[in-house]
A and B are shown apart, each in its own frame.
Chain A
Amino acid sequence: MTKSDVTRRGVLKSGAMVGAGVALPTIFTASSAAAYTNEPTGSSVTLGFNVPQTGPYADEGADELRAYELAVEHLNGGGDGGMMNTFSSKALKGNGILGKKVEFVTGDTQTKSDAARASAKSMIEKDGAVMITGGSSSGVAVAVQALCQEAGVIFMAGLTHSNDTTGKDKRANGFRHFFNSYMSGAALAPILAKNYGNDRKAYHLTADYNWGYTTEEAVRTSTEAMGWETVAAVKTPLTATDFSSYIAPVLQSGADVLVLNHYGGNMVNSLTNAVQFGLRDKLVNNKNFEIVVPLYSRLMAKGAGANVKGIYGSTNWHWSLQDEGSKAFVKSFGTKYGFPPSQAAHTCYVQALLYADACERAGTFNPCGVAEALEGFEFDGMGNGKTLYRADDHQCFKDVLVVRGKENPTSEFDLLEIVEVTPVSQVTYDASIFGGDLGTCNNGA
């Protein structure tokens, strides 16, 4: 009698493995003829712009899309070239990327993680996008970044400010140009201490989700290091529209500063409510009561209107910067669209150019080659001074702007004024403090 090695359990295990292999979605495997996912074989290359086109951040998404369209125009040799003229790398020639004409498809993230993943997946699977970029939320960025990692394409994040994007949720295929919560805290704290003193009592209202937590932690840590005391930190529901019941007890707490760790509609409403309650007119502990908004965007400032006057915050970039890169971008964007670009537009435009430049320098669209070209890449001329794409966490390190709501705006876009350009050395941190693991690059092969 011959002994057979075939067992019922073995057959089941093998069957399961084969079944899993067959069932594996096609986006996770490059076609047998291609060396990597969506390798461009024709005369064009397709990029996927995944921005909020509907939902609460639709206006921000529209500005991102304008910036991407401008970047594509410049990459293909149209327009005045914008920042390509000031970019320290001279690899881009205005003939597309690696000689291929740049085309694009767009997706609607709706600022919902599942919708953003679905639209990114569709652009990769159906439209053959070789890179995905954009977005206005950290939740979306983390979700899409993970998808791109699995699919074997590069993800160039749009507006995402949570530490987690390049911290505990970082991925080898994902890159962020935008700054983060830690940098906001590190940049803001000295300015706050300088203007409001070291003996302050802060009350935090924090949006009850990931970005809110990291921002609160960053601002608390930085301000407490300056001598401030945190008297309370209250989580507010993301869906809240009226913050009066959260703001009313602030004065009773003995706090003399209110920190609003809110973004978008939350920030507009909480700041409006705080100003309505007359907090800024109050004298507490013999000091003027102050409000701080750690992350500003122009669109938020517009929503809050006159309430932002005199209020400090931080921002990634502002159109009033006078370096050559910013001036070139503002001129291109302003001439094409009739108004200055937002920080979301700026970061998206820069991300598109950085990706294209990395492809040129790597000589390939292979995501692993592109990632290698981006890692540790130092550049200038893109609006934030000398910048480093740190290899350890794929986070850009550059100067951070501390801004203040302008007292006498001359237009609906002229709402913030730059108070200080915080040098990069002051906002740099050890990549290991936020944990996470980049893992290895996946090209989908």
Chain B
Amino acid sequence: MDAILLQILNGLDKGSAYALIALGLTLIFGTLGVVNFAHGALFMIGAFCSVTLSRLFSLSHKVEVPGETDFLGNPLKKDVPYLYDIFGESTGAAIIDWAVPLSILFAIPIMLAVGYAMERGLIKHFYKRPHADQILVTFGLAIVLQEVIKYYFGANPIPTPAPSAFTGSFDFGAMLGFDPNTIIYPYWRLVYFAFAVVIIGAVFSFLQFTTFGMVVRAGMADRETVGLLGINIDRRFTIMFGIAAAVAGLAGVMYAPINSPNYHMGMDFLVLSFVVVVVGGMGSLPGAVLAGFLLGVLESFASMREVIDLIPGINQVIIYLVAIIILLTRPRGLMGRKGVMED
């Protein structure tokens, strides 16, 4: 029982990342009809917003350490962040410590701008082109973006820790009456799950309870009719692209402490997120979220030693197996609209 609970918890945080990326993907597909293979790169750019702000906060000047030498025998110079000079050591250190959460504020305008530029500069030229063209051009864009990041940040993962208040893990097992240490869960992953729930809730609320959202939903259902009513639906869809980019970016920002960001992390999530979208139903927002969490949990279960012993290699193929089964039995996905992906 404790092992099952543990894997459900694990699946929830993994599913959070899938759900957030898939939500943006399906939002773009539902509004603009574009299959955006550069969406993983937006997740990666978000994570590098965290890295960038951490580095900006850590900008330092050198101070010689008396009596100590460096590896060449020269006087050792220690980096002292400018923030220490401005705010004092303890406040400066606290600001650096909280760089990742603060990156949310830093990343939102950047991701909106990146999304807007991407849509206006490139993707709008491919609206009427076949999906294969869209996939090729967005995949190419993803490679360009990751190479740009690699050029500036290098190929190595860059450690970007969570605030020290969130290091360590919470003993769920003890709380539920199990033996201590049977169900432990890192604090930051709990934060990530809660963050994902808030973001998903915010996106749904925005679409459900605002006039803007209502028009967007109407446009998703029947773009032509909304256009005939004199509403500039293209402009709204462009804004939705920016919002989808921001959602992916924020997912990346908060993911940075879970796995050290590297230029390839977007690609690692992209294929799985597409499977999530397909399983959930292309264009279905609740489907993307449901499938994200579902596949996250399934992947966790498939990684259990007992399961691997029973079916070797299942941990590597479980998500694709599920996708095949769903596509064979229900081509429009779990919550897809009738007719979409069924012809």
Which residues of B89-116 are within 8 A (CB) of A? none
Report the nearest B residue to A305, measured CB to CB: B159
Q: Which residues of A contact B3 (CB under 8 A)?
A: 249, 252
Interface string of A272-283 (1 = CB under 8 A from B): 110011100110
Contact in complex: B169, A278 (CB < 8 Å): yes
Which of B9, B70, B188 has the most chain A CB atoms inside 10 A of its CB? B70
- Interface presence of A319 (CB below 8 A): yes
Across the interface, which residues of B come within 8 angstroms of A57, CB to CB?
A: 155
Contacts of B68 in A (CB 8 A): 410
8 Å CB interface, B111-148 against A: none
Report chain A residues within 8 Å CB of B185.
248, 277
Check if B300 is an interface residue, CB within 8 A of chain A.
yes
Contact partner of A304 (CB less than 8 A), chosen from B159, B181, B182, B186, is B159
The answer to whether B259 touches A242 (Cβ under 8 A) is yes
Q: Which residues of A contact B65 (CB under 8 A)?
A: 410
Q: Is B31 an interface residue (CB 8 A)?
A: no
Cα distance, A334 to B11, chains bound together (Å): 46
Q: Which of A25-33, A233-241, A424-432 contacts B (4 or more CB under 8 A)?
A: A233-241
Bin the interface of chain A by size. 35 or more
Residues of B close to A302: CB separation below 8 A: 156, 159
A244 lies within 8 A of B14 (CB):
yes
Given that A57-B155, A306-B161, A335-B72 are known contacts, is A248 also in contact with B10, CB under 8 Å in the complex?
yes
Q: Does A246 contact B (CB under 8 A)?
A: yes
- B57-80 vs A, CB cutoff 8 Å, 1 = contact: the mask equals 000000001001011100010100
Would A305 and B181 be within 8 Å (CB), given that A281-B168, A410-B68 are in contact? no
**B157 A268 Cβ-Cβ under 8 A:** yes
Asked if A284 is at the interface (CB within 8 A of a chain B CB), the reply is yes
State which of A54, A277, A330 has its C-beta within 8 Å of the C-beta of B169.
A277
Q: Quick one: which of B71, B154, B265 contacts A334, CB cutoff 8 A?
A: B71
- Against A, the Cβ 8 Å flags (1 = close, 0 = not) of B1-22 are 0110011011101100000000
Nearest-neighbour CB distance to chain A for B181, whole angstroms, equals 5
Q: Kindly supply a per-residue 1/0 record for chain A positions 319-352, scoring 1 wherever the CB is within 8 Å of any chain B CB and 0 otherwise.
A: 1100000000011001100001000000000000
Q: Summarize A's interface: helix, strand, loop or mixed.
A: helix
Q: Which residue of B lies closest to A58 (CB)?
A: B155
- B53 CB, nearest partner CB in chain A, Å: 16
Residues from chain A with a CB closer than 8 A to the CB of B186 are 244, 276-278
Cα distance, A56 to B11, chains bound together (Å): 26
- In the complex, how many angstroms separate the beta carbon of A231 from the nearest chain B beta carbon? 10
| A320 and B71 in contact, given A57-B155, A239-B268 (Cβ under 8 angstroms) | yes
Contact A56 B71 (CB under 8 A): no
What string of 1s and 0s marks CB contacts (under 8 Å) between A237-263 and chain B? Answer: 101011011101101100000000000
CB-defined contacts of B157 to chain A, threshold 8 Å:
265, 268-269, 303-304
> Given A277-B169, A410-B76, are A249 and B264 neighbors across the interface (CB < 8 Å)?
no
Q: Which of chain B's residues have a CB closer than 8 A to the CB of A15?
A: none
Q: With A252-B2, A281-B168 in contact, is A56–B155 under 8 Å at CB? A: yes
Nearest B residue (CB) for A268? B157
Residues of B within 8 A of A197 (CB): none
One of B184, B264, B303 near A56 (C-beta < 8 A): B264
Report the separation of the CA atoms of residues A239 and B259 in the bound assembly, to the nearest whole angstrom: 14
Contact A58 B268, CB 8 Å, known A276-B169, A303-B260: no
Distance from A17 Cβ to chain B, minimum over Cβ atoms (Å): 43
Please state if B308 and A235 are interface contacts (CB–CB under 8 Å): yes
Q: Are A272 and B159 in contact (CB under 8 A)?
A: yes
Note all chain B residues with C-beta closer than 8 A to A245.
Answer: 7, 10-11, 14, 299-300, 303-304
On chain B, the residues within 8 Å of A246 by CB distance are: 303
Q: Beyond A56-B262, A269-B157, A299-B156, is A251–B182 a contact (Cβ under 8 Å)? A: yes
Interface centre among A55, A245, A265 (most CB of B within 10 A): A245
Instruction: Please determine whether B158 and A303 come into contact, CB atoms closer than 8 angstroms.
Output: yes
Contact, CB under 8 Å: A306 / B262: no
- Is there contact, CB below 8 Å, between A232 and B159? no
Interface residues on B, range: 35 or more
- Decide if B239 is an interface residue (CB 8 Å cutoff): no
Interface membership of chain A positions 90-118, coded 1 if the CB is closer than 8 angstroms to chain B and 0 otherwise: 00000000000000000000000000000
Complex-state Cα separation, A331 to B189, whole angstroms: 44
Verify if B150 is at the interface (C-beta below 8 Å from A): yes
Asked whether B155 lies within 8 Å of A59 as measured between CB atoms, the reply is yes
B10: shortest Cβ distance to chain A, in Å? 5
Decide yes or no whether A413 CB sits under 8 A from chain B: yes
A-contacting residues, B170-217, CB 8 Å:
181-182, 184-186, 188-189
Residue A307 at the chain B interface, CB threshold 8 Å = yes
B160's nearest neighbour on chain A, judged by CB, is A305
Inter-subunit contact A242/B258 (CB<8 Å): yes
A7 CB within 8 Å of chain B = no
**Chain B residues with Cβ under 8 A from A410's Cβ?**
65, 68, 70, 76, 78
Whether A411 sits at the interface, judged by CB under 8 Å, is: yes
A-facing residues in B5-51 (Cβ within 8 Å): 6-7, 9-11, 13-14
Contact A55 B7 (CB under 8 A): no
Decide: A278 near B71, CB < 8 A? Known: A251-B181, A269-B260, A410-B78.
no
Contacts of A234 in B (CB 8 A): 305, 308
Nearest Cβ on chain A to B275's Cβ, whole angstroms = 14
Please name all residues of chain A whose beta carbon is closer than 8 Å to the beta carbon of B305 when the two chains form the complex. Answer: 232, 234, 249
Give the shortest distance, in Å, between B76 (CB) and chain A (any CB): 6
CA–CA, A307 and B157, complex, Å: 13
Give Cα distance in the complex from A330 to B73, angstroms. 11
B225 at interface (Cβ–Cβ under 8 A)?
no
The reply to whether B260 and A340 form a contact with Cβ atoms under 8 Å apart is no
CB neighbours of B232 from chain A (8 A): none
- Residues on B with beta carbons closer than 8 Å to the beta carbon of A232: 305
Assembly CA distance A302 to B158 (angstroms) = 8
Q: Which residues of B contact A330 (CB under 8 A)?
A: 71-72
Task: Annotate B298-322 by CB proximity to A: 1 below 8 A, 0 otherwise.
Answer: 0110011100100000011000000
Given contacts A58-B155, A303-B157, 16 further A-B contacts (CB under 8 A): A54-B155, A58-B150, A58-B154, A234-B305, A239-B268, A242-B259, A244-B300, A248-B9, A248-B184, A252-B6, A284-B181, A303-B158, A303-B262, A304-B260, A319-B71, A330-B72
Q: List 16 A-B contacts (CB under 8 A).
A: A56-B155, A56-B264, A237-B315, A244-B13, A245-B299, A245-B304, A251-B182, A252-B3, A252-B6, A269-B157, A276-B169, A304-B159, A304-B260, A305-B159, A410-B68, A414-B71
A-B pairs with lowest CB-CB distance, top 8: A305-B159, A278-B169, A58-B155, A245-B303, A303-B157, A276-B186, A245-B300, A278-B168
